[in-house]
Structure 1
Amino acid sequence: ASAQWFKQAFTYLNVDLGKEYLALLSSWIDKERLGRYESPNAALKKEHRPATLSTWQKKRFIESCEPNVSDDNFVVSLSGEVWRWWVSLQPAWRAIAPGTKPSYPPVIKTGMTNWKSLDKKGLNGWFGLLVCLKWWGMGLKYCPAEKRAELREDWLRAIGDISAMLNGLLTYYRASPK
């Protein structure tokens, strides 16, 4: 029964937005498998979470309540909100100034043990980040042509950074005594 949420979440996220997105999706699957597909109440910090995601979550993840990704300004707005939220979620050892984007790729050293701010599973964990990246990726084709390449590059950078941190968390899990 605990895996039912995961099946629905995976079905929702499983769209072909390119190899980078699919690699992140694969890492997320690994994380949830290691967490035995549980969906506890513990959540990623809500402060700075994109409003569109909060609204969609309050409506119980109903697809008909998704944001309009074809709106001209959607990706521009969402991308800024995703970066702001992502930066606010980082462990203290990453030391990213608010209002800036992290240097890429992140420097993850062996022995980094404080992953608490990112160590969340289930519907209230990394799923929300991936939902935002899905919407961002789907909305790119509707962006004005003169902004599309830059917004796609920013999306790929976000995927790269989020993937690197998720993989760092997975490495920490696997190295931790059981």
Structure 2
Amino acid sequence: MTTVNLGPHFHAVIEAWIRLEAASRYEQGPTNLPKKGRPDQVTAWISVGRGRRGVERAKVLDCEEYARAWHMWWDFLQPEWTKRGADGKWSVVDGYAGDGREWGKLYQWGVNGALSLIAALYFWGCAAREDVELEAVWEEAVGDVSWMLEGMAVYYEKFNRKF
């Protein structure tokens, strides 16, 4: 996920993911992120063992279609305490989730959890970096995932001491 330099915001996502994995002691999560709505490219990448060969199979050819699929998946994964604002962006209903509220379907870590989200962003970012408008939509998604991963890491560090 670092072969192509996708910039500091994507690196922040990777750092947030590392923090989350450390908080979970690098164990596998209780289950997998749901497949419902997941972009086909992520499924292809997983089907060949999440390696380099899978990255080529996961190449995004139509950024706009991929963005729609990714957003549908992301929307499905959202915890109950978030909602879409009038501007169409996700926002927190009342406060940061680090206060101990549950993370719902996002409550996954390990190879079947947040790593799939990061891979999905990586595939999309590699395709979007040649178009300023497409890259702006991708950057927004990167910021949202980064925020959520940081929040999950805080949650695990403070409230989920079973690790």
1:58–1:106 Cα change, 3 Å: farther
Matched residues, number:
156
- The offset of 1:14, in angstroms, is 2.5
- 1:1-28 per-residue CA deviation (whole Å, 9 max, x = no partner) reads xxxxxxxxxxxx2242100000110010
Partner SS, residue 99 of structure 2: coil
Contact 1:48-1:81 at 8 Å conserved across structures:
yes
In structure 1, C-alpha distance between the alignment counterparts of 2:124 and 2:116, rounded to whole Å:
12
Q: Which residue number corresponds to residue 28 of structure 1?
A: 17
Partner SS for 2:28: coil
* Contact persistence 1:44–1:118 (CA under 8 A): yes
The equivalent of 1:169 in structure 2 is 152
Which residue of the partner structure matches residue 39 of structure 1? 28
Does residue 69 of structure 2 align to residue 63 of structure 1?
Answer: no
TM score, norm. by length of structure 1: 0.77
Instruction: State the Cα distance separating 1:102 from its structure 2 match.
Output: 3.0
TM-score (norm 2): 0.83
- Which amino acid counterpart does residue 17 of structure 1 have in structure 2? L
Partner-residue secondary structure (3-state), 1:52: helix
Structure 2: where are the runs of 5+ without partners? Answer: none
State the 1:92 CA deviation: 1.1
Where does residue 113 of structure 1 map in the other structure?
Answer: 101
- Report the Cα offset of residue 30 of structure 1: 0.8
**What percent of counterpart residues are identical?**
27
For residue 7 of structure 2, what is the aligned residue in structure 1?
Answer: 18
The residue number in structure 2 matching 1:77 is: 65
SS in 1 for 2:106: coil
Which SS does the other structure have where 1:117 is aligned? Answer: helix
Q: 1:102 aligns with which of 69, 74, 89?
A: 89
Residue type matched to 2:27 in 1? E
Change (3 A) 1:157 1:135: same
